[in-house]
Structure 1
Amino acid sequence: MDNPAFWSAKRQAAAIKAGELGSRELLELYIDRIEQINPDINAVITTDFKTARRVADQADKVITAGEPVGPLHGLPVTIKDAIETKGLCSTGGAIELASYIPESDAPVVNSVRRAGANIIGKTNLPRWSGDIQAYNEIYGTTSNPWNLDHVPGGSSGGAAAAVACGLTSFEIGTDIGGSIRFPSAFCGVFGHKPSFGIVPSTGYLDHALGGTTEADVNVIGPITRSAEDLELLLGILLREEAPWKPDLAPPPESLKDLRIATWLNDDFCSLDDVVSEKLNEVVSKLETENYQVTQNTRPDIEPLAASDLAFKLIGAALLQSQPESGFSHRDWLEAHRSRVGIQQRWAEFFEDYDIILMPVCFVPPFPHVQEGDFFTRTIECNGIARPYVDLIRWTMLVGMANLPSTVPPIGLGSTNLPIGIQVVGKYGADLTTIRFASAIADLMGGYIPPPIANLN
């Protein structure tokens, strides 16, 4: 793509370092695009272009002076509004924090700043990141850039929509039940849910007391237009403090050596035909390219019971600031004991396989639905009304087990909306899932800008 707005962050940074692209030049390009495109999708909700211009000008002076620069030097970026960002209103989508301006950055924001990024704004989300959509009473509704009548996914919906439309170099999102994976799939971009704990997650606003502690299951990770950017950003975001600095498994020398399992449908949460057709197309292409694929296999767990357990664990994490949550510490210990058993089943499974491919969601992107709540809404699947909570059953199986999951774009389904797939690996195999997701994207056509992003 000739338009720098759509380049990978790695390519943008290289061009800035070489003096072929100015940081201020790239910033002005994104500001212009935000002003033209964002009114339709409502992805970027808070901006500080005055400060961003000053930072960009300084970044260009550093290049002119020939001084050493970081890997993200001069890149204009946005951050999900659930992550504390110094000097920018950070609300978590909740009216209680409508005027909250943090005095310090979350660790992940500090990491991207130190690497040279220029933070220009925040992106939309649901209240306390608690939905598969992106709307709240402060900033309104974010729409899917492929069809404005449909949701962009959530909770990092504004983040993925901004990346898809070329409004930012990359995004940083959060994921407790699928909040990086859903919007990446629904908007046709790359997203990575890291192995739990390898990226610091304080500064995450999921309740009124703020992000002073790390919530169980929740992770923070990147959303991008390329797999190489996922790998670049993961390296920048990794926890640095001893003794917690992670030692990730190296990627394989050859992806063709990977033992790949598929678990692409199941009676516990059966798929819409539109999704199933696209996922089967991925498998067919992998087999044509002579990858080692074993279809219809999974860890020795009871998936419905496991996903119900995940509801309990995630619910406990989200209710940590409530004085009477109805979930005692004894309850959590019992749930955690069951989780450890499930994690052991996953570990045993990964003795025989390196990757398992799974759905992100049982339906494709769906129309906006804001009546009712998470537990009373329904979603149509193959002409049948299904519980709204089923949306997160496939993603929770992975999250509650603390596993890494990468979502690559795999093209449009028959409804002309993006579909995604989870590339899941054992704990710490983040680089393997990213590399294999890249291979899948290459086979399926990779990132494509939505028509709304192509300005004349």
Structure 2
Amino acid sequence: MPLHQYTATQMVKTLQSGEFTAAEITQHQRDRIQSLNPEIKAIVAMNDGAGTGAGGALAGLPITVKDQIHCHGMACTFGSERHKDFRPTQTAPVVERLLQAGAHVIAKTNLPPFAMDFQCSNALFGTTNNPWNLDYTTGGSSGGGAAAVAAGLSFLDIGTDLSGSLRIPASFCGVFSLLPSEEALPNEGMMADGASPLKHFARMGPIARNPDDLALAWRHMQPSPEAVQSAFAMPQIYWSTDGGINTCDSIVRCFGMATAAWKTAGFQVATAHPVNFGFRQARRAFGEIMGYETGALMPALVRLLARITSRASARRSPEFLANVMRGYRHNRKNYDAALSEKATLSDALDSFLGDNGVWVLPVTATSVFKHMVPTSDRNGVRDYAEPLFINGQAENYFDALTAFVTPISLTGHPVVTMPLGLDNNGLPIGAQLIGRKGSEVHLIQTAKRLHGVLNVPDCPMLKRD
């Protein structure tokens, strides 16, 4: 088996046993990147100075990191010409933990400017193509990392997620991701110019090809050694594909096939939705908080101009951009009310999940689509006037992509994104597995068992030499 087809867990074992050296593995990955990256454009910079020592539990495993996350001495462009020369003097604490465990960062992966789009393109490095079909998007903003992992350019990637940026690319590229519970990890080291991190939502997490590799990454990203886990108990699986959201028929069909397979395998599966948990209500609170906190990074005049120039965009996107623009008003009373709403909705989801429940939701309302060019692009702030079409009905780009992810960003619960199957074009469809706060290990174990029942293929490009 070619080295790039090894999982991260398998590769660590071979490194620990001495079957291969870290230098050999690193060179193999460099060669693969050189061969395939011109087609995919997932990797934006190589770390020629990365060490290849075999120390620590990860034994020299080469990994990649989104080009938003600070790594000492490496360029960190945020996908923007403005920051092409920025080289952080410190490494993000989450990445530092992985380095201390023996990983080394071999390369940086692509993103849209300032991680502000749900596709992955920028003027510096071009457009990242989906390795399943180069005509299609990877999703964003951690699209470079998801494409790199799917195609075997990377064993593990560390990305970020504010409003779906890990989950959407993982779904579109047929790989796994872990969005940890809010505040489970430090979020320093992912802001331009070293600015202070946002108070809510922005989280780092791993992208991997299977649940074992998510567990490997999570074990070494945590602030302290993993606690001894009690015996695994398979949870009650609740699922829904509605929430008042027009969802692509291929996604609904895929969910139906997956849940039927789980029931046949003996898992407890039921269609259900939390009481007093409205998606529209959650999206509004998310937008108010996100707009308030991201808007605080701008001068008041810039914020006002953004609201004025975005009026048409907000009208087209009543469930996402309009809510963010309301937050740009910087009204403290509205912000506090949204925080109160966040707590109420989080409690409602806690009550629904109980001691051992997992809620399975779509990632997006739309299936993977072909690359779209923004109608306008103001220094990375993009708009798409052309709609996406779901079941023949026109839906706003931003609303269709965020309908299922921002409510869970709001509540702060952990999410494993896992592939369920393929759409009518042979492209991946993923699902969000949402668990109790602090239940990351249990959630990953659940994903492993559920995925084991399904027959989901790997990305065809992974098989290419």
Aligned equivalent of 2:439: 429
Aligned equivalent of 1:319: 295
Aligned equivalent of 1:261: 238
Q: Which amino acid aligns with 2:423?
A: G
Structure 2: distance between partners of 1:141 and 1:356: 33
2:73 to 56, 81, 87: 87
Structure 1: distance between partners of 2:68 and 2:455: 31
Whether 1:110 and 2:96 are equivalent positions in the alignment is yes
Structure 2: distance between partners of 1:352 and 1:21: 43
Q: Which amino acid aligns with 1:226?
A: N
Aligned equivalent of 2:5: 6
Structure 2: distance between partners of 1:343 and 1:254: 23
Matches within 5 A, 1:293-304: 293-304=269-280
Structure 1: distance between partners of 2:108 and 2:296: 25
Structure 1: distance between partners of 2:335 and 2:81: 29
Structure 2: distance between partners of 1:345 and 1:235: 29
**Does the CA contact (< 8 Å) of 1:263 and 1:298 recur in 2?**
no
Deviations for 1:171-221, whole angstroms, at most 9, x for unmatched residues?
00101111111111110111010000111110012xx44343344111101
Q: Which amino acid aligns with 1:11?
A: Q
1:359 to 356, 362, 368: 362
Q: Which moved more, 1:324-333 or 1:20-29?
A: 324-333
Residues 315/214 of structure 1: CA separation in 2 closer, same or farther (3 Å cut): closer
Aligned equivalent of 2:379: none
- Report how far residue 423 of structure 1 moved: 0.6
Aligned equivalent of 2:222: 238
Residues 447/398 of structure 1: CA separation in 2 closer, same or farther (3 Å cut): farther
- Report how far residue 375 of structure 1 moved: 6.2
Structure 2 runs not aligned, ≥5 long: 304-328, 376-381
Q: Secondary structure at the match of 1:148?
A: strand
- Report how far residue 146 of structure 1 moved: 0.7
Matches within 5 A, 1:31-430: 31-49=30-48, 51-52=49-50, 55-56=51-52, 58-59=53-54, 69-205=55-191, 208-240=192-224, 250=229, 253-255=232-234, 258-267=235-244, 269-324=245-300, 325=303, 326-351=329-354, 354-372=357-375, 373-374=382-383, 376-390=385-399, 391-430=401-440
Q: Normalising by the residue count of structure 2, what TM-score does the alignment of the two structures yield?
A: 0.88
**Does the CA contact (< 8 Å) of 2:71 and 2:91 recur in 1?**
yes
**Does the CA contact (< 8 Å) of 1:409 and 1:420 recur in 2?**
yes
- Report how far residue 289 of structure 1 moved: 0.9
Aligned equivalent of 1:443: 453
Structure 1: distance between partners of 2:61 and 2:175: 19
Q: Secondary structure at the match of 1:16?
A: helix
- Report how far residue 379 of structure 1 moved: 1.0
Identity over the aligned pairs, expressed in percent? 29
Structure 2: distance between partners of 1:31 and 1:447: 25
Structure 1 runs not aligned, ≥5 long: 60-68
Residues 88/316 of structure 1: CA separation in 2 closer, same or farther (3 Å cut): same
Provide the alpha-carbon RMSD of the alignment. 1.9
Deviations for 1:83-134, whole angstroms, at most 9, x for unmatched residues?
0111111011222211111111111121111111121110000111111111
Residues 425/249 of structure 1: CA separation in 2 closer, same or farther (3 Å cut): farther
Structure 1: distance between partners of 2:205 and 2:111: 15
Residues 400/251 of structure 1: CA separation in 2 closer, same or farther (3 Å cut): farther
**Does the CA contact (< 8 Å) of 2:138 and 2:169 recur in 1?**
yes
Q: Secondary structure at the match of 2:24?
A: helix
Deviations for 1:210-244, whole angstroms, at most 9, x for unmatched residues?
3433441111010011201111211211235xxxx
Q: Which amino acid aligns with 1:292?
A: Q
Q: Which amino acid aligns with 1:115?
A: A
